[in-house]
Every structure is written in structure tokens, then in C-alpha cells.
Chain A
């Protein structure tokens, strides 16, 4: 099981702040994960409608699309950051 955590409008559109998912073995990279999530329902489709606008963190560190998610304890999905 992999823990997924969502923030800001990604959280609002998916309708939950976190969940544990069993990811299929074919989901190897961050990019694969985004494509897989979009198949889980229309709320995911709405949240991930513009995949380029989604930032991903693996174990609380920023991750690029090609990075592998094997062994990830926690994967965060969120929009571009607007702190400061």
C-alpha cells in the first residue's frame, strides 16, 4: 500500500486529503501514477485534468515525472506552490 496525500485544490477536487492505494505493478514512475489516478473516477479526472499543473513529492521531496515510485511510503500531489 502506498499513502497518497493531497493538498489545496487537488485535495478539494478529489474530495479527500489522504488515502492508501494498492498500485498496480505497471505503475512505475510519477508519470504512470498520474495517468493511473485519472482512471479512478471523475473526481480524479477533474483534479488531474491538467497534469502539467500538478506537482508531486515522493517521501516529502519534490519528484520529476520520470522518477520511479518503487518503495515510496508517501506520495504528495498538489498545485504549484504559492507561499511566502
Chain B
């Protein structure tokens, strides 16, 4: 009986242990031929940014990441998938998000990780607030049209 594969999902304040996630997806797996990991980092916006404050909707954030993950597993026949997203205060160079996907061949793992990021950007309930190095509160980051466009390319007829 094949079991239904569920994504590993974590919404956490702590830093992301990519090595542990990779082990969880690959240890003892002789069928996995490809592993793709994507890590999103906090950047300093050309020196302007002191920190990002990430707010999330507890409960819905986990549920939405799970929904996106399940869709990706089915659509790309992934062998494994993990989505880890942090909340709280992050400074430039800190990790924000990790997506790790495994599959038999590389294309599915690349596409699966890419798909998850495009959907996560526009439908997972997280919001970024900027804090400037000059002590100002830079306000909430606005959603980007480019993220909506990126998501649209996965639309199937």
C-alpha cells in the first residue's frame, strides 16, 4: 500500500537547520536521484536595512504551506518535500525560508521547489516590516506584481 506523502512543514522562530532537513529527506533513500534546496535570505537593501520583522498568521501559515506542499508533491511526483519558514526579527544574512524537494530526476525537484516558492510568496500568510539603519521604521513591504506574474506561469488549462 503506498502511503500518502505529506510535506514536512515548520513555521518557527529558530534558525533553519538545512542539514537536518536534507538528512530527513535523503537518509536511507536509494530511490532519490535529485535534491534541490532553496534558501531565502534577508538582504540589506544596499545598506539601508537594519532588520526585517516577519509576522505570520499562526495556524493558517502552517495550513497554507501544507496545502501548497501537497499540491507540489502531486503535480511533480516529488519523493519528498520540506518547507520551513521563520517569523520574528531577522537581520541581513539571516535565513528566512527553506524549500527542499527530492525526486527521481532533477527537473521535478527544480520545478517543485520553484512552484512552492511562487505560491508561498502570494498565498502563505506572512508579512514583512522593514526597520531602517537610520532608526526609522520603514513600514510594511508591499506585495510585488512580479510575484503574481511568477505564480501565473504555473496555471494549467
When the two chains form their complex, are residues B57 and A76 in contact, meaning their CB atoms are under 8 A apart?
Answer: yes
Q: Which of A4-52 contact B (CB under 8 A)?
A: 5, 7-9
Q: A9-B140, A57-B60 are in contact. Are A79 and B127 (CB under 8 A)?
A: yes
| Contact assessment for B127 and A82 in the assembled complex, using a CB-CB cutoff below 8 Å | yes
- The chain B residue with its CB closest to the CB of A80 is B143
Residue pair B140, A7 in contact (C-beta under 8 Å): no
Residues of chain B within 8 A (CB-CB) of A7 are: 55, 57, 125, 127
Known interface pairs A8-B55, A8-B140, A9-B140; A82-B126 also in contact (CB < 8 Å): yes
Judge whether B35 is part of the interface by a CB distance below 8 angstroms.
no
A10 nearest CB across to chain B (Å) = 9
Chain B 64-78, CB within 8 Å of chain A: the 1/0 string?
100000000000000
Interface size on B, residues (CB 8 A): 27
Query: B146 at the A/B interface (Cβ < 8 Å)?
Result: no
Indicate whether B128 reaches chain A with its CB closer than 8 angstroms.
yes
Are the C-beta atoms of B127 and A57 separated by less than 8 Å? no
Looking at the complex, which of B14-22, B26-34, B115-123 is the stretch in contact with chain A? B115-123
Interface presence of A71 (CB below 8 A): no
- B49 within 8 Å of A by Cβ? no
- Asked if residues B127 and A5 are in contact (CB atoms below 8 Å), the reply is no
Whole-angstrom distance from the CB of B115 to the nearest CB of chain A?
A: 13
Tell me, yes or no, whether B124 is within 8 Å of chain A by CB: yes
Measured between alpha carbons, how far is A78 from B142 in the docked complex, in Å? 12
A61 to B96, CA, bound (A): 23
Closest residue of chain B to A57 (Cβ to Cβ) is: B60
Closest 4 CB pairs of A and B: A83-B126, A80-B143, A60-B60, A8-B127
Q: Other than the known A79-B127, A82-B141, A83-B126, what 16 A-B pairs have Cβ atoms closer than 8 Å?
A: A7-B125, A8-B129, A57-B60, A60-B57, A60-B60, A76-B57, A81-B123, A81-B125, A82-B121, A82-B128, A82-B140, A82-B143, A83-B54, A83-B85, A83-B97, A83-B121
The residues of B with any CB-CB pair to A shorter than 8 Å are 40, 54-57, 59-60, 63-64, 85, 96-97, 117, 120-129, 140-143
